[in-house]
Structure 1
C-alpha cells in the first residue's frame, strides 16, 4: 500500500468519527449551527480525499450526503430523524469501505450498487419526486440474475468455459447522453458476452410524451470474462451498474441449489485486519530522539573505556569509569522505557467516541429512551489496553440498555426520569485505570439470578442457597449464563459476561459488579496502564525461580506454623483476626518444595476472584520490571503460565497466573 493511500485511510477514519460525533450532537441539539457546520466540513473533506482515488461509488454517496447537509444548512431541508438516520447510514458505510480499502486496496464488489442506493436515499430527502421516479434496487435483490439464467441458460454452453458467470445489471441514468455515455457501446465492450436482455427502467409513456433525450434502458447481461475485466468496462459509471459473480454450474447436475444450480456467490467479504497505526505527539518523538542521542554518547564512552583498558590504565580508574557508564546507561534505559510507554499511551477518547452511535442504534432497536454520558475521556492507557476494551465495553453497554433500562412508564411510576441514565467513565488510580459503566435502571435481582442458576444447573442447589447476594451476582460471569428469555441479535445466545471477564483478564485486569435492586448497576473494570512492561515479584520454589505479577499481590507475610490450621484436606491461617485459605505453590506446580513447614511459611497474600488467599513459597526474591512475552508455539495455552521473560544472566523466568492455577 502506497504512502498516499495509507495517509488517506488514517485521515478518513478521523473524518468519519468527526462526522458521526457532529451528527449525533446535531440530533440532540438541532439548533446549534456549529454541529451542522462540523458535519458538513468533515463530509466535504472526506469527499475531496476520495476524489484522489478510483473510489467512485464512495464519492457518489458522499457527494449526495454533502448536498443534503448543504440543504440543511440553507434551510432547504428539515433536520429530522429520517435525515439524521440516512446520513449516519452513509457515514457508517463509508467507514466500512475504508476498512475494505485498508485490507484489499479497493472497494468491495457491491460498492457500486450500494453507493447508488445511498445516493438515491440521501437525495430523496431533498426531492421526494425524484426519489419515486426511479425505484431503488435493494442490495439483496438478486432475483433478476436467476430470472436471466432461467431465460437464457439453455443457450449458454458453460462446458467451453472453466470460469463461472458474471451477471451485469446496467441502469444508465436518464441524463447519461448529456454526460457523454453510450450505454450500447459500453455493452459491446464487455468481453465474452453469452446472454443479453434489454428492457425499460420505467413504464413506457404515451408516444407523444416520449423524451428522446432521456435514457429509459435497463440492460442485463451474462459474461464468461473475469470479474475485473467486466468491472474495468464500467469503471466510469460504477454508480449505475451492479456486478455479481455467479458460481459455475456443475453441468452434470442441473438440479443444484437455486435455478439451474447457479447460486449467487457473495464476493463482498474482505480479508484479515490490515496494519495498525498510532498517531503520536511530535514532542514525544523529539524526546525519544534526544534519548537516542544520549545513548550514543554513553556507547562511545564505553568504547573509549574498552580501548583504554589495554593501554596500562589504572584498574581503579577503569572500574570507576565502568560504574559511571553503567549508572548513565541505567538512567537512560529508565528514561527510554518511560518515553516509549508515553508514545504508546492513547486517550480513552479514541474508543469512547465510538460508543454514542452504538448506544443510539441499540436503544432505537429496543425502543428504549437512553440518556448517555461519558466522563474521563482524557484518561490515558497503553494502546493495547485501550483497543482491547472496545468489545467488552460494547457488550456491557448493550446489556445496560437491554437488561438495565426499564420502560418509561415503569420509571415514571418509580419517580425516575423517563430516560435511563447510562454513564461510561474512566479514571486513574495509581498505576491502574478504572473504567465503569453505570446505569440507574432496574438493577440486578439476586433472587432472579439464583433462580436462573438453579434452572440451568450452574451449581448445586445447597451451594446456591448459601450464597450471599454479592456471591449470587458473580454468577453472571459463569459461561453460558443468561437471563434473557428469548434469543435476539443482542442477547440470549449464551455469550455473555463470561466473555467480558475473559477479555479483560487477557489484558491483565479484573471485572467487578455492584448493584442495588431498583436503583441501578455498575460494572467496573480495573486494568493496568500498560501490558507491555509488567512488574513482577520473583519467588523461589523447589530450587527454581518464578515470577508473579505484582498487581495481584496485596502484601507478603511470614506465618508461624502455629497459625496454620488443617481444614480437612486443605489449610488455612489467621492473619489479623481473619481466616484465609492457604495454598502451597509447590503443590500447585506439582514439584517438591525446599521449605520446612514446621518453621512456618513465607506467604504472598493475593486477591483471587475478589477473595484474599495466601500462597506459600520457599522464599522471596527481588521485584522487577520485565518485558513479558506470551507463550507461543507448542507451549501456547499452557495453563497457569502467563508468559516468560529473559533475566540479566540469560535465564528464562516463567510468569505464573496464580488465579488460573488455583482455579
Structure 2
C-alpha cells in the first residue's frame, strides 16, 4: 500500500468520526450552527480525498451527503430525525468502505450498488429534483445518439426496444488538477452498452501535446436507471449532459472495475511532538552514558586502580539506571492514548441498537481525557460494545414501565473512565431494571452452568456474577444482538487478556454497573520475585497488598485447608508449592513468609520460601504451544539470561 493511500485511510477515519460526532450533536440541537458547519466541512474534505482514488461509488454517496447538508444549512431550518438517520447511514457505510480499503486496497464488489442506493436516499430529502443538475440534450442535437447506437455493433441493441440513457461528457482541460478522472467515471457507469471517445479540439503535432491537459469528449449509452447514471456525474454537472432517449435495449454489461493494489492497513499512533522531543533528549543522554562506559573500559585496560574504577562503574550504573527509568516513562507517555479515541465510536452504535430495539436511551460519557496504554485503549472496543448492547437490550426498560415506577422515560446509560491508583477503571452504568438473581439462577440451571445445589448455596452477588460464565444467557431466542451466550464471557476474557478484571454490581429495579479494572500499561510492569527452593518466580506487584512473616503456630487448619489471622481478619492460606505441584521442603519452617494479595474480590495469603527483589520488567505474553498455559501471565528475561515466569495467582487458585 502506497504512502498516499495510507495517509488517506488515517485521515478518513478521523473525518468519519468527526462527522459522526457532529451529526449526533445536531440530533440534540438541530439548529446549532457549529456542528452543522463542522459536519459539512468533514464530509466535504472526505469527499475531496476520495476523489484522488478510484473509489467513485464512495464519492457519489459522500457528494450526495454534502448536497443534503448544504441544502439544510442554506434553509436555516432545523435538521430532522429522518435526515440524521440517512446521513448517519451514509457515514456508517463510508466507515465500512474505509475498513475494506485498509484491508484490501479497494472497495468491495457491491460498493456501486450501495453507493447509488445511499445517493438516492440522501437526495430524496432534497426538495429539488437532482436530475436538474445536468442539462438535457436538445432534440435537435440527438443525432450523435443514433449514430453511436448504429455503430455499436451490438445486434441486440439495434433490435430490442427499451429506454436508454445518453451521456456526453466533455471534461475541462484542467480536470486532472481538480482531481477528476474521466476514464474512472466512465468505468463507474453501470450498464454501458456503447462508448465513443473523441477529441474536443483537433490534436496538435505529437511533440506539442500537453500530457497534463485533457482533450477528450466521451459519449456513451447506458441501459441503467437514469438516477444511477446521473449520480455518477454529480462531481462534474457543468461538464456533462444526460438525456433519456427511447431506443433499443442494450446488453447488461457493467463497466469493469480495475483491480486495486492490495495491501495491509497501517497501524498508526499520533504523538505530541513534545513527547518525541523528550525521547530525543533522553537518547542523547544515553549516548553520553555509553561514552562514559567506554572511557571506564579504556581505564581498566590501562590498569587503573580497582577502587577508582569501582567508583566510576557505580556512578555510571546509577546514571544509566536513572536514564532507563526516564526513558521507560517517556516511551509509556508516547504509547498513552486518551479514552476519547475509543469512546467516540459508541454514541452511534448505541443509537443504532436503541433504534433496532425501540428503546429510549439517554447516553453520556465521562472521563474521555483519561489516558491508558495504546494496547489497552484499542482492546476495549469489543468488550465495551458487548456491555453496551446488554445495557440497551437487557437493562433498559420500556418507557411505560419507567413511567409507572417514577423514573424518567429515557434509560440513562453512562460510559465513564477514571484513574484508580496505578490502574484505570472503565464502567458502564445504567439505571434500568437491574439483574434479578432468581432469573439468573433459573437460566444457569437450565443451561447447565451450575448445579441446583451450588446455585442454592450462592449469595445473590455470586449468582449475578454468573453472567460472565461461558455459555450463559437469559435471552429466550437468538437475535442479531443477543441469545448466543458469548457476550459477557467474551468481556471477562478480553479484560483478562489485557491484564485486568471484570466485575458486576446490580440492584433489582435500580440498575447495573459493569466495571473493568485494567492496568495503565501492559508493556512494562512491576513484579515481586519470590523463591521456591532454588527456583525464582514473579508475582505482579499490583495485586500484592503486603508481605508478612507468620509463625507456624498461628497457622490454623480448616478442614483440608489452612488459614491465618491477618490484621484481625481471617484469610485462607495457600502454599505456592502446592499450586505449582512442587514438593514441600522435608522440614517444616518455624515461620512462613506470606504474600497477602487480592484474588478477585477476596484476599488470600500465598506462602513462599523466600522473598526476593522488586523489579521493573518487560513482560512478554506466552506464545505458541504455551499460549494457553494456565496460571502464567507471561515471561521476562533477567540480567543473567534466565527466564522468569510471571504467575497469575488468581487463575492458579481458581
Taking a change above 3 Å as real, the CA distance of residues 232 and 508 of structure 1, as seen in their structure-2 partners, is closer
Cα distance in 2, alignment partners of residues 598 and 394 from structure 1: 51
Is 1:369–1:408's contact at 8 Å kept on the other side of the alignment?
yes
Work out the CA distance in 2 between the residues paired with 1:212 and 1:532: 60
Asked whether the 8 Å contact 1:198–1:220 carries over to 2, the reply is: no
Where 2:432 maps in the other structure, the secondary structure is: coil
Tell me the secondary structure at the aligned position of residue 594 of structure 2. strand
Deviations 1:129-169 (A, max 9, x none): 6699xxxxxxxxxxxxxxxxxxxxxxxxxxxxxxxxxxxxx
Deviates more, 1:383-392 or 1:560-569: 560-569
Once the 2 structures are TM-superposed, how far is the Cα of residue 15 of structure 1 from its aligned partner? 0.5
Q: Partners in 2 of 1:10 and 1:271 — Cα distance?
A: 17
* Whole-angstrom CA distance in 1 between matches of 2:605 and 2:496: 21
Map of 2:102 onto structure 1: 102
Look up the match of 2:141: none
2: CA distance between counterparts of 1:272 and 1:479? 37
Match of 1:214 in 2: 244
What stretches of structure 1 of length at least 5 have no aligned partner? 133-170, 189-196, 203-210, 224-228, 236-269
Deviations 1:16-52 (A, max 9, x none): 0000000011011101111111100000111111122
Do residues 82 (structure 1) and 82 (structure 2) align? yes
**How far, CA to CA, are the matches of 1:172 and 1:373 in structure 2?**
53
Asked if structure 2 preserves the Cα contact closer than 8 Å seen for 1:71 and 1:77, the reply is no
Which residue of the other structure, out of 293, 311, 314, is the alignment partner of 2:305?
A: 314
1:288: Cα distance to partner? 0.4
- How far apart are the structure 2 equivalents of 1:60 and 1:402? 35
Contact 2:22 2:36 in 1 (8 A): yes
Task: Give the conservation status (yes or no) of the 8 Å contact 2:361–2:411.
Answer: yes
Q: Secondary structure at the match of 2:426?
A: strand
Q: Larger deviation: 612-621 or 61-70?
A: 612-621
Does the 8 Å CA contact 1:77/1:126 hold for their aligned counterparts?
A: no
Give the aligned partner of residue 484 of structure 2: 493
Distance 1:55 1:215, change over 3 A: farther
Tell which deviates more after alignment, 456-465 or 96-105. 456-465
Cα shift readout 1:523-542 (whole Å, capped 9, x = no counterpart): 11111100101111111113
State the shift of 1:93 in Å.
1.2
Counterparts of 2:509 and 2:131, CA distance in 1:
48
Work out the CA distance in 2 between the residues paired with 1:173 and 1:314. Answer: 98
Question: What is the match of residue 547 of structure 2?
Answer: 556
Match of residue 440 from structure 1: 431
Q: Give the CA deviation at 1:598.
A: 4.8
Deviation of 1:648 after TM superposition, in Å, equals: 1.0
How much has 1:332 moved relative to structure 2? 0.8
Distance across 2 between alignment mates of 1:74 and 1:588: 71
CA contact (8 A) 2:105 2:262 kept: no
1:185 matched to 2:185? The reply is no
Following superposition, the deviation at residue 496 of structure 1 comes to 2.5
Which of 609, 614, 618 is the equivalent residue of 2:609? 618
Matches within 5 A, 1:416-565: 416-565=407-556
Which secondary structure does the structure 2 equivalent of 1:74 belong to? helix
Query: Which one is further off, 554-563 or 8-17?
Result: 554-563
Say whether the 8 Å CA contact 1:538–1:623 is kept in structure 2.
Answer: yes
Deviation at 1:62? 1.0
CA contact (8 A) 1:124 1:131 kept: no
Deviation at 1:368, TM superposition (A): 0.5
Counterparts of 2:242 and 2:520, CA distance in 1: 69
Specify the alignment match of 1:254 in structure 2.
none
Q: 1:620 to 1:295 in 2, by over 3 A?
A: same
Residue 28 (1) aligns with residue 28 (2): yes
Pairwise CA distance, 1:519: 1.0
TM-score under structure 2 length normalisation: 0.82
Contact 2:561-2:573 within 8 A present in 1 as well: yes
- Tell me which of 593, 601, 617 is aligned to 2:592: 601
**Would the alpha carbon gap of residues 52 and 465 (structure 1) be closer, same or farther in structure 2, given more than 3 Å must change?**
same
TM-score by length of 1: 0.81
SS at match of 2:621: coil
Q: CA deviation at 1:302?
A: 1.4
Q: Which structure 2 residues correspond to residues 246-257 of structure 1 after superposition, within 5 A? A: none
2:565 partner SS: strand
> How far 1:579 moved relative to its partner?
2.6
Q: 1:367 is matched with which residue: 328, 337, 358? A: 358
Secondary structure class of the residue paired with 1:40: helix
Pairing 1:411–2:402 present: yes
CA contact under 8 A between 1:44 and 1:66: conserved in structure 2?
A: yes
Helix, strand or coil: the match of 1:214?
strand
In the superposition, relative to structure 1, how do residues 216 and 75 fare at CA in structure 2: closer, same or farther (>3 Å)?
farther
Counterpart in the other structure of 1:231? 257
Cα distance, 1:271–1:396 mapped onto 2, change above 3 Å? farther
SS in 1 for 2:168: helix
Q: Note the alpha carbon deviations across 1:613-651, whole angstroms, 9 max, x for none.
A: 222111111111110111122322222111110111111
Q: Which structure 1 residue ranges, 4+ long, deviate > 6 Å from structure 2? A: 197-200, 270-273
> Structure 2: 5+ residue runs without aligned partners?
133-161, 172-185, 198-220, 227-240
CA change 1:602–1:595 in 2 (3 A) is farther
